[in-house]
Structure 1
Amino acid sequence: MTFQAALKNTANEIEVMLDELLSVETSLAPRVTEAMRYSALAQGKRLRPFFVSESARILGADHQQALRVGAALECIHCYSLVHDDLPAMDDDDLRRGKPTCHIAYDEATAILAGDGLLTVAFEIIADPATHADGSVRAELTLELARSAGHNGMVGGQMLDLAAEQKHSHDLDEIIAIQSLKTGELFRFSLEGGAILAQAGSEDRAAMRTFADRVGLAFQIADDILDIESSPEQLGKATQKDAEAGKATFIDLFGLDGAKQKARALADEACDLLAPYGDKAETLRDAARFIVERKN
């Protein structure tokens, strides 16, 4: 199966699973569930669930269990987007080509929808349907909490907001921010499959390092797209970081240098998969896609 076909297949499976998990019919508060569905069932690429699925496949874990972990991770990712878009944060009114949650509903509902997506993620992970072994579920819960919390994605967002007040930034600072804000969920997506497979330390380390390279390449590619693409292509506003005074990888490397750096990181990520041979070819294609994508 080609990478594009595998990505689309995973996206479709995740869409079906989220549709079932976020049912309005069983909701005691339908409006907040509708807002959660509005934000989570929004035709995203589902790249993070794809990474869970692929790492699980390579290391021999169950596919349906991997989809559940991927669905939980996608809920975390979508909650972060809902909250990032709020007026107190990035103040965006377009996401994935349609009005953001607080525009479509209201700010209070958007906050609660984000809270709901965050907490349902751990409900999914903790359910025995995700894995029969309670110790595996506990480790998944711990690692997801670490990746999403104050020393992970949330901490990265705080540092990113603080960076708006500064007028100079160095490479180490920007990498530190992005490794938390963006990279931590990528790390969990690759390591989550390894945890499901109850893989050894070498496999887990390989997946973590691959995630580090891919996560940084993803952010550099995002900065490039912010310059080269239109809001219509991306489905969101562009060049807002520059307007807010945040330094980007383009500022540090220049446009051509940023493209070279992203490609080099993707190559390094692919090299890390050598021990897995042909089984990892789709994952290699994913690393290349990250730096070549147009939206």
Structure 2
Amino acid sequence: MEFKEILKNKIDYVEKLLMEYMPKEEGYQKTIMQAMNYSLSAGGKRLRPILTLESCKAVGGNEEDAIPFAMAIEMIHTYSLIHDDLPALDNDDLRRGKPTNHKVFGEAMATLAGDSLLNYAYEIMLSSSLNKENSKKYLKAIYEIAKHAGIYGMIGGQVVDVESENKIIDKDKLDFIHLNKTAAMIVGCMRAGAIIGDASEEELEKITKYSENIGLSFQIVDDILDIVGDEEKLGKPIGSDIENHKSTYPSLLGLEKSRCIARQLIEEGKSSIKDLPLEKDFLNQLGDYIISRDC
């Protein structure tokens, strides 16, 4: 079976699970559930929930134990996209080929939808952990997700990204933005999955290195696709980085150098997990897919 088919099967599996975790659209507040579900069901790569489950399996864990965390991760990711698209930030009209949340529900409801997804994610993780025998490891997993989604992770990267608009920044600051705004949530979800799977400290370190590398490479490829990508495949306009005067790997180093760095990061990431004891073919193939993707 080709990797794209394997990936599609995993995406379909996550989509099916996600439907079960979506809030029911009922009650006086049902509009907020509709807004949450609109963005949750809009499709996408579902990379973070897949990686949560795969990292759990790679260290010998039971992926079913990580399912609530995988669903919560996608909710946190979706909240960040809703907020990113708002006029105060990126001011985007399309996301995954569909009108952005605020274009459908208005800015106020879109803001609340993002807030609701973030809170609901923690509600799901905590409720699934309360009656577990080894509740401490689940609390550790929640901590990893909270940390990497917060001021020392994704939000921290977003802050520096906003403050860097219309400015020329150096590579160190650009790496900080990418490692936090994009890679941190990938690191958080994979560390959470590995912790749920009872990873040793050595295994957790290997998973961390892999996730940092593919997270940074993923963002570099995104920067490249914003210049040379196909709008129809991407589901959003290209050229926004140039239009918004944002520093990127291609703007600092050029397209070819950026591609080389992305490939090198993937190879280093794959090397870091080569000694993991269990199945890691998917993680290796995912690395190759990231640098060859066109959407």
Counterparts of 1:83 and 1:267, CA distance in 2: 33
Q: Secondary structure at the match of 1:127?
A: helix
Q: Residue 205 of structure 1 corresponds to which residue in structure 2?
A: 205
Q: Secondary structure at the match of 2:275?
A: helix
Q: Residue 154 of structure 1 corresponds to which residue in structure 2?
A: 155
Which runs of no fewer than 5 residues in structure 2 stay unpaired?
none
- Contact 2:68–2:128 (CA under 8 A) maintained in structure 1: no
TM-superposed CA distance for 1:198, in Å, is: 1.8
Deviation digits for residues 219-266 of structure 1, max 9, x if unmatched? 110011111113222101212121111111001221111111111111
Deviation digits for residues 32-80 of structure 1, max 9, x if unmatched? 1011011011111101111111111111222222222111100010000
Q: Secondary structure at the match of 1:142?
A: helix
Q: CA RMSD in A?
A: 1.7
- Contact 2:220–2:249 (CA under 8 A) maintained in structure 1: yes
1:82 aligns with 2:100: no
Counterparts of 2:130 and 2:262, CA distance in 1: 34
Q: Residue 195 of structure 1 corresponds to which residue in structure 2?
A: 195
TM-score computed with the length of structure 2 as normaliser: 0.95
Superposed, 1:226-245 pairs within 5 Å as 226-245=226-245
Q: Secondary structure at the match of 1:274?
A: coil
Deviation digits for residues 97-138 of structure 1, max 9, x if unmatched? 000000011111100110111111111111236981221221
Counterparts of 2:147 and 2:285, CA distance in 1: 28
Identical positions, percent? 38
Q: Residue 141 of structure 2 corresponds to which residue in structure 1?
A: 140
Q: Residue 57 of structure 1 corresponds to which residue in structure 2?
A: 57
Structure 2 counterpart of 1:36, one-letter code: M
* Corresponding pairs, count: 294
Counterparts of 2:268 and 2:211, CA distance in 1: 11
Counterparts of 1:8 and 1:29, CA distance in 2: 34
TM-score computed with the length of structure 1 as normaliser: 0.95
Counterparts of 1:190 and 1:37, CA distance in 2: 25
Superposed, 1:100-119 pairs within 5 Å as 100-119=100-119
- Contact 2:137–2:196 (CA under 8 A) maintained in structure 1: yes
Q: Secondary structure at the match of 1:276?
A: coil
Counterparts of 2:215 and 2:221, CA distance in 1: 10
Structure 2 counterpart of 1:232, one-letter code: E
- Contact 2:54–2:193 (CA under 8 A) maintained in structure 1: yes
